[in-house]
Amino acid sequence: MRTILITALLLTVSTPAIAKQAPAPRPDDTSWAFEKSDVPVDPDFRFGRLANGMRYVIRHNATPAGTAVVRMEIAAGSLDETDAEQGLAHFLEHMAFNGSTHVPEGQMVPLLEREGLAFGADTNASTSFERTVYKLDLPRADQHLLDTALMLMRETASELTISQAAVDRERGVIFSEMRDRNTFAYRNSVASSGFFYPASRYVRRFPIGTTETLNAASAQSIRAFYEREYVPLHTTLVVIGDFDADAVEAAIHARFDNWQPRTAEPQPGAGPVDAKDRDRTGVWIDPALSERLVIQRNGKWLDEPDSVAQRQENLLRSIGYDIVNRRLQRLSRFAEPPFRGAGFGTGDVFKAARSTRLIIDSVDGQWAAGLAAATREYRRALAHGFSEAEIAEQVAQLRAALVDAAGSANTRSNAALAAAALALVEDRQVPGTPQSVLDRFVAFAPQVTPDAVLAALKREALALDKPLIRFEGRTAPAGGEKTLRDAWKQAMQAPIPAEQQGVAAAFAYTDFGKPGTVVSDTHDAVLGIREVRFANGVMLNLKHTDIVKDRIDVSLSIDGGDMLDTRENPRATEMVPYIDEGGLGKHSRDELDTIMAGHTLGFGMASGEASFVAQAGTTPRDLELQLQLLTAMITDPGFRPEGEVQYRQQINNYFARLRATPGSAIQADLGAIVSDNDPRFSLGKVEDYRALTYAKLHRDIGDRLEHGAIEIGIVGDMDEEKAIAMVADTLGALPAREPAFRPYDDQPTRTFTADRKPRVVRHTGPADQALLRVTWPTRDDADPVETLKLQLLERVVRIELTDSLREALGKAYSPTAGVSLSRHWKGYGTFAVVASIDVADVPATRKAIDDVMAALRKAPISDDVLQRARQPLVEAYQNALKSNGGWLSLVDRAQTEADRIDRFNRARDRLLALTAADVQTEARRYLDPAQGLEVLALPEGVSEPAK
């Protein structure tokens, strides 16, 4: 479903003329969209084309400073496959990591790891229906690493070896990925596509392929696809980062000029989609699926090349859909809502069709009420249109987003700019400048009227006349398909009164009393963080940065958190994440959304180990309002019944699908297993959660909200003196708080079970899916060097598991390791390895994990493995303070957890001082196979494989 799109608007410009639309591009058209558009392109992008036809996009950018991203898109995906080739586009993507002319098999990932790129996080690729994209995020933009990245992209373009032995080894990994993807959500997605587009090509070209075609795949067949589809005319290289653009352009020519041009076959269409397909009804049942109705009609794809006039049309459509969806959202927030959620919109089906959909997510068994209410809002919008107030709210939201974008335009991230470049390639959207977008919006805004918005929506949206209707859920509707169709007809014939508009109130929380007095104002000696304390005990930490212009990040911590959960009251903080759904005492959540339209704010709270935390992104112009909103959330939470309803709906759905996958089944039982059924860390019964109320939450956390210590961190493009004054007017004006966060020494310790016998939990997913997790107890994070040693050991174990389970045995798609060391539970921490595998491979996987641990304990790792594990960690610390988020992680608790600053400052040198012997010592200390707690998730009714 499409909301037509701030992102599209963000690429537009201020040009009053209305251009004629260009003719539709040919399927093999590789022209630049801006060559035929009246939307001026951002001049800071450099576009080029080699003599062989390959295109490239280059841009110098210094956010984050000293880094770069490289993307190579091949305009070939699963749509390009023949019937016998299904899955080969994705298989080929895997083979790109399995050897080429100048990079031996198995050496591409290690080569990048030695340079500081973590596999998965910084080194990745993806295959979709239409394209394959290779992605490198470079921690340094030096010439050596850029040359390495371009060399690897060039190898991928035409130099892959694709040996039969490598194909045979990788086949198991592909099947592992296929098995992991086979979830209730994926099966439903495939079935839904087949119902709505039964004759289309794309429903028979899901990128993972089929068992038959993957078993038949050979080096010869994959190479045939490779040589046919990986050609210069199908390829675009994007390089964005902190480098000399001339040097990068020269390097691209040096690497790719000798790639020989070949004929580029046009990609087959994704359709056909029959616009006359109507009046069909389907029911899809799965015990894990919550109830949903989709009402849809398909129509002709609208060929709308990017132009100023088209962007104006898109803006009007967007506002229309957003207003309908805002009305539907309001209904979902009633104390007795007709549905959990609903949405209305129109989107493209590739270039084969467009579809208009009304989607209703209902409480199980309540689909009829949801259908009636959502249909009424859909019909009301088309019959009566929109009000001036509704238009104004959406225009205010758009204006705020565009002002924000223009303000931070010169500090956009490498990743954001690369995405804009790929949008030009993939969607033929011209990347303009955010300031020109804002200028154009200001000029066009007077033309955004209720009549214009309704007319634009009607020009695109298909009438839901005799629609396709699909029900999905746990239980089929009584009466089946006929009942669904009859309910739709009845809903379409019901009366549709005009919308009754309320009057937006003014924000009621602007005065919190006499401004607080600053009693202490110092600077941290290491990082220059400013530390302020008010007379009421509130602590404020500030750091001005220019990393992102016109952007401020805020973090608020209040003493309490999960430490309030006790054995007698283990769910005291369970509802904290839903506190925002209850709104404020003087405003409902829905009213707040209207009041705050046109502002950039965050609103919500989470429960951490020993504190309640709220984080928000805002701007200099909205910082005062953001602080007022946070202060109001603490002092006058609304605790309205509609928030309780939202919580219970979510809980019911969570428990209904609790064991639908191996991962969710283990997650459900792991806390109780590890803690010997300590109720603080164990999942209770669904009835325990349904019984929770806001009244209980208020009793359990109200004292902390009223009296608990407060520490606030503010990072970004701010005037520090103004920020201090704003905090003085809000949090600093509150009655006296406790001066320090409590140690909670009276809480019973958190323990790790002494009973290490293996456990088996059951899931209701496919019969071949298993998940093996082994967990060891470790320690808390009190010792910074020990913490780094365990983090390094985690990276080493990931490498060794990947080499063993994925590369050598082909048993697991993505085996992983994780270390978690508690700051607040003294002595408590865990180290875990997890592998998603075939049931038949459980014994081999168990042995492989034991062998990896035994080898790590027996002898030091090689210097090469040490480098591959350590360098990504070193680069992460090097680059951590190149983002506001990195700064905020230190600023937020700079006064009460000051040791984190010293830890960070010394982490790089400490990491570089660690040795292979240190890794071995940690493995010997913690990773004794005999002490690991194995939990194995198996399908219901499947016997445990023999050990």
Mean pLDDT of 617-635: 98
The neighbour count for residue 561, using CB atoms within 10 Å, is: 24
Q: What is the pLDDT of residue 29?
A: 66
**CA-wise closest residue to 881 among 529, 600, 557:** 529
**CA-wise closest residue to 467 among 479, 483, 485:** 485
Q: What is the pLDDT of residue 946?
A: 80
Q: Confidence band (pLDDT; 50, 70, 90) for 259? A: very high
Mean pLDDT of 258-271: 96
Q: Confidence band (pLDDT; 50, 70, 90) for 499? A: confident
Side-chain half-sphere exposure of 226, counting CA atoms within 13 A: 23
Q: How far apart are CA 335 and CA 644, in angstroms?
A: 8
Mention every residue, 6+ apart, whose C-beta is less than 8 A from residue 778.
790, 819, 821, 829, 830, 831, 926
Q: How far apart are CA 211 and CA 895, in angstroms?
A: 58
Q: What is the pLDDT of residue 947?
A: 72
Residues 711/890, Cβ–Cβ less than 8 Å: no
Q: Confidence band (pLDDT; 50, 70, 90) for 815? A: confident
What does the mean pLDDT of the chain come to?
Answer: 94
Side-chain half-sphere exposure of 257, counting CA atoms within 13 A: 6
Q: What's the token pair of residue 539? A: 């602590």
Tokens 């979902």 label which residue? Answer: 332
Q: How far is CA 789 from the centre of its chain?
A: 29
Tell me the CA end-to-end span of the chain in Å, nearest whole number: 48
The neighbour count for residue 58, using CB atoms within 10 Å, is: 22
**CA-wise closest residue to 199 among 333, 49, 349:** 349
Strands (E), 411-551: 468-473, 518-523, 530-534, 539-544
Q: What's the token pair of residue 270? A: 């994704």
Mean pLDDT of 33-40: 94
Q: What's the token pair of residue 335? A: 């104390």
Mention every residue, 6+ apart, whose C-beta is less than 8 A from residue 301.
348, 349, 350, 351, 352, 353, 354
**CA-wise closest residue to 89 among 234, 213, 225:** 225
863 burial type by CB count under 10 A (0-12 exposed, 13-18 middle, 19+ buried)? exposed
Residues 733-788 have pLDDT tens digits of 999 999 999 999 888 999 999 999 999 999 999 999 999 999 999 999 999 999 99
Please indicate, yes or no, whether the overall pTM of this predicted structure exceeds 0.75.
yes
The neighbour count for residue 139, using CB atoms within 10 Å, is: 23
Q: What's the token pair of residue 771? A: 């998940």
Which of 106-120, 326-340, 749-763, 908-922 has the lowest average pLDDT?
106-120
Q: What is the pLDDT of residue 122?
A: 85
Question: Is the per-residue pLDDT at 624 higher than 80?
Answer: yes
Question: Is the per-residue pLDDT at 4 higher than 90?
Answer: no
Residues 127-178 have pLDDT tens digits of 999 999 999 999 999 999 999 999 999 999 999 999 999 999 999 999 999 9
Q: Is 158 helix (H, G, I), strand (E, B) or coil?
A: helix
Question: Is the per-residue pLDDT at 211 higher than 60?
Answer: yes
Mention every residue, 6+ apart, whose C-beta is less than 8 A from residue 612.
557, 558, 559, 560, 561, 573, 576, 605, 606, 701, 704, 705, 708
Side-chain half-sphere exposure of 51, counting CA atoms within 13 A: 7
Q: How far apart are CA 383 and CA 343, in angstroms?
A: 18
47 burial type by CB count under 10 A (0-12 exposed, 13-18 middle, 19+ buried)? middle
Q: What is the pLDDT of residue 497?
A: 86
Q: What's the token pair of residue 670? A: 């792991």
Mean pLDDT of 652-663: 96
Q: What is the pLDDT of residue 27?
A: 40
Q: How far apart are CA 413 and CA 405, in angstroms?
A: 12
Q: Confidence band (pLDDT; 50, 70, 90) for 866? A: very high
Which of 394-403, 631-640, 880-889, 938-947 has the lowest average pLDDT?
938-947
In the beta sheet, which residues pair with residue 584? Answer: 587, 637
**CA-wise closest residue to 905 among 387, 411, 528:** 528
In the beta sheet, which residues pair with residue 541? Answer: 531, 713
Q: What is the pLDDT of residue 6?
A: 25
Q: How far apart are CA 309 and CA 418, in angstroms?
A: 25
Q: What is the pLDDT of residue 803?
A: 85
In the beta sheet, which residues pair with residue 470? Answer: 282, 294
User: Would strands 291-299 and 132-138 be described as parallel, antiparallel, or unpaired?
Assistant: unpaired
**CA-wise closest residue to 170 among 113, 133, 222:** 222
Task: Please state, in angstroms and as integers, the Cα–Cα distance from residue 502 to each residue in 90, 343, 586, 643, following that order.
Answer: 52, 22, 15, 21
Buried b (16+ CB within 10 A) or exposed e, 578-608: bbbbbbbeebbbbbbbbbbbbbbbbbbbebb
Q: How far apart are CA 236 and CA 422, in angstroms?
A: 9
Q: What's the token pair of residue 327? A: 């009305």
**CA-wise closest residue to 361 among 1, 765, 660:** 1
Residue type for position 8: A
Q: How far apart are CA 339 and CA 333, in angstroms?
A: 9
Instruction: Read off the DSSP letter of residue 119.
Output: B
**CA-wise closest residue to 331 among 364, 388, 371:** 371
Q: Confidence band (pLDDT; 50, 70, 90) for 2? A: very low
Mean pLDDT of 825-839: 96
Task: Please state, in angstroms and as integers, the Cα–Cα distance from residue 384 to each residue in 329, 446, 459, 494, following that order.
Answer: 19, 21, 16, 15
Residues 542-571 have pLDDT tens digits of 999 999 999 999 999 999 999 999 999 999
Q: What's the token pair of residue 643? A: 């928030």
Residues 923/856, Cβ–Cβ less than 8 Å: yes
Residues 220-249 have pLDDT tens digits of 999 999 999 999 999 999 999 999 999 999
Residues 839-864 have pLDDT tens digits of 999 999 999 999 999 999 999 999 99
Q: Confidence band (pLDDT; 50, 70, 90) for 120? A: confident
Residues 790/923, Cβ–Cβ less than 8 Å: no
Pairs from 253-258 (Cβ < 8 Å, separation ≥ 24): 253/50, 255/150, 255/151, 255/153, 255/154, 256/50, 256/52, 256/54, 256/154, 256/157, 256/232, 257/50, 257/51, 257/52
Q: Confidence band (pLDDT; 50, 70, 90) for 807? A: low
Q: How far apart are CA 702 and CA 706, in angstroms?
A: 6
Q: What is the 3-state secondary structure (H, E, C) of 433-465?
A: CHHHHHHHHHHHHHHCCHHHHHHHHHHHCCCCC
Q: What's the token pair of residue 226? A: 């490779």
505: left (phi over 0), alpha (psi -120 to 50) or beta: beta
